[in-house]
């Protein structure tokens, strides 16, 4: 069994994938080009935004968005304390200061109430300018965008949606993941809900000006031709082979994979809800289930469950073991200390989650037998 079985997906989609890849290989155009443009159009249409700008990976996508907004030194950017490192790394690489916000223990996503408090604390300290919020659609589930959007508006901040894990999710009557931020990003890292055969990423926005700027920034800040450089940018382009793979996988995701992972989640919910804490999906929200993450009562219990699963050949993983504010690079950062030491300590829910969460196998090709084995093993361990 695998946490996310990419070779089973390959077997299921093999003829279409191989045809698409060979077509690019024989076509002679390997970076950007027609296939990449077709992908960008399809993605923009599916998500429901005006512009999709593909790029080299999700981390670059975050950086490009912050570059387009001119985020830099002296700016505070609010980031969830419970996320993959790249979310905070991109902010710090631009010279801005990530300010960590606690998450909700039921959804794992940014807690709007704690965000309010952190903004007020930051304003009182008066050292940094509150510039943007990065909300992460963690494990596939959209963050609480209605609440986060109104806070962004109240404090005149930009809202960046890190949907690296969230592609395919949605909020009823509001829209699909990657349409909630002023700019949204996703990642096509192989294990994400929409993954390619290497690195890839994309940005989404309705804003024409930012879209034009992002198209320039991803190719060394080019002007109307590539040997006139208007600004400093990155080399962050998508390969045609990855776009061809993504076109095939996008169809599978929307045709049946999204339904399949939600079916797996339902089976886990009904078999496990009595003995562990299962992830909560608020009314009207749809997750694309990048991970199915349970919570145990204690770290000790979590470690025992993980050991028993392993003994039965079932992989599991701890996403994530360390809160962002405890990562050595941030814990020792002088700028963070200046902004307010106490503030960086105040994410108790994240600390609790890091000690008790466990992600179990989740992908569209899990069989009922495998799901039963996972659930029975957890039951046997805890009873």
Ligand X SMILES: *Cc1c(COP(=O)(O)O)cnc(C)c1O
**In the bound complex, what is the minimum distance in angstroms from residue 195's beta carbon to ligand X?**
9
Residues 105-144 that bind ligand X (CB under 6 A): 136
- Asked if 165 interacts with ligand X (CB under 6 A), we say yes
Contacting residue, 9, 39, 58, 293, with ligand X by CB under 6 A = 58
Minimum gap (Å) between residue 80 Cβ and ligand X: 9
| Closest to ligand X by CB, 276 or 292 | 292
Work out how close the CB of 54 gets to ligand X at its nearest, in angstroms, rounded to a whole number. 12
If the CB atoms of residues 165 and 179 are measured against ligand X, the closer one turns out to be 165
| Contact between 285 and ligand X per CB under 6 A | no
Task: In whole angstroms, give the CA distance from residue 215 to residue 210.
Answer: 9
Distance CA 50, CA 181 (A): 13
Q: At its nearest, how many Å lie between ligand X and the CB of residue 83?
A: 5
Binding mask 6-45 toward ligand X (x if CB under 6 A, else -) reads ----------------------------------------
Kindly state the number of chain residues that form the binding site for ligand X, as judged by CB under 6 A. 15
Closest contact distance (angstroms) between CB of 381 and ligand X is 28
The correct pick among 24, 43, 79, 86 for binding ligand X (CB under 6 A) is 86
195 binds ligand X (CB under 6 A): no
Contacts of 99 (CB under 8 A, 6+ apart): 76, 77, 78, 79, 118, 122, 128, 339, 343, 344
Please identify, using beta-carbon distances, which residue of 57 and 356 lies nearer to ligand X: 57
The residue within the footprint of ligand X, chosen from 164, 211, 294, 371 (CB under 6 A), is 164
Cβ(147)–Cβ(133) below 8 Å: no
Residues within the interface to ligand X (CB under 6 A): 57-59, 83-84, 86-87, 136, 162, 164-165, 187, 189, 199, 201
């Amino acid at each position: 069994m695998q946490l996310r079985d990419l070779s089973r997906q390959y077997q299921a989609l093999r003829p279409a994938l191989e045809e698409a890849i060979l077509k690019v290989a024989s076509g002679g155009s390997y970076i950007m080009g027609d296939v990449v443009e077709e992908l960008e159009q399809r993605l923009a249409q599916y998500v429901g935004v005006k512009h999709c700008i593909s790029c080299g990976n999700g981390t670059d996508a975050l950086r490009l968005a912050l570059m387009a907004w001119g985020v830099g030194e002296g700016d505070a950017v609010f980031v969830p304390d419970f996320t993959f490192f790249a979310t905070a790394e991109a902010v710090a690489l631009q010279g801005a200061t990530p300010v960590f916000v606690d998450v909700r223990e039921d959804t794992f996503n940014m807690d709007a109430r704690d965000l309010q408090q952190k903004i007020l604390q930051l304003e009182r300290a008066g050292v940094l300018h509150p510039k943007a919020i990065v909300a992460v659609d963690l494990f596939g589930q959209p963050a609480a965008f209605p609440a986060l959007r109104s806070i962004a508006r109240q404090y005149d901040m930009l809202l960046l949606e890190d949907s690296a894990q969230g592609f395919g999710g949605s909020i009823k009557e509001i829209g699909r993941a990657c349409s909630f931020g002023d700019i949204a990003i996703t990642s096509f890292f192989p294990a994400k809900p929409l993954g390619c055969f290497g690195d890839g990423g994309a940005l989404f926005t309705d804003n024409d000006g930012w879209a034009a700027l992002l198209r320039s920034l991803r190719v060394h800040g080019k002007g109307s031709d590539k040997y006139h450089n208007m600004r400093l940018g990155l080399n962050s382009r998508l390969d045609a082979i990855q776009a061809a793979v993504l076109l095939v996988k996008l169809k599978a995701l929307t045709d049946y994979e999204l339904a399949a992972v939600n079916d797996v989640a339902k089976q886990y919910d009904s078999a496990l809800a009595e003995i562990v804490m299962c992830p909560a999906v608020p009314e009207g929200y749809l997750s694309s289930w990048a991970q199915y993450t349970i919570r145990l009562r204690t770290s000790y219990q979590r470690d025992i469950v993980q050991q028993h699963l392993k003994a039965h050949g079932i992989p599991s993983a701890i996403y994530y073991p360390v809160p962002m504010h405890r990562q050595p690079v941030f814990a020792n950062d002088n700028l963070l200390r200046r902004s307010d030491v106490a503030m960086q300590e105040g994410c108790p829910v994240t600390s609790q989650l890091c000690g008790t969460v466990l992600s179990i196998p989740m992908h569209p090709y899990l069989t009922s037998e495998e799901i039963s084995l996972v659930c029975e093993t957890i039951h046997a361990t805890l009873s």
